[in-house]
Amino acid sequence: MGWLVFPPQVWGDYEAVTQGRADWQDILAGWEVDLIVVAARDTDFRQRLLDVGWEETFSDFDGSVLRRP
């Protein structure tokens, strides 16, 4: 058996958050996430965060760092 760095539930939560599943904000709150790094190509995810009040603290051609308000 190969290495499993993160259990399947963590990957499921990651996909739920990045894809905007209905409970994505609850998942972030449960993990107590305060900062998120978003790749520049993930424009929908970045916009979803901004739409609910996250603040962009840094941005360049690679992506953005957003902070929970």
What are the structural domain ranges in the chain?
33-69
Read off the pTM: 0.86
Q: pLDDT tens digits for 29-63?
A: 999 999 999 999 999 999 999 999 999 999 999 99
Say how far apart CA 34 and CA 1 lie, in whole Å: 34
**The predicted structure's pLDDT at residue 1:** 55
pLDDT at 64 over 90: yes
pLDDT at 4 over 80: no
Q: pLDDT tens digits for 7-36?
A: 889 999 999 999 999 999 999 999 999 999
Mean predicted lDDT score pLDDT of the chain: 94
DSSP string covering 36-62, please? Answer: EEEETT-HHHHHHHHHTT-EEEEEETT
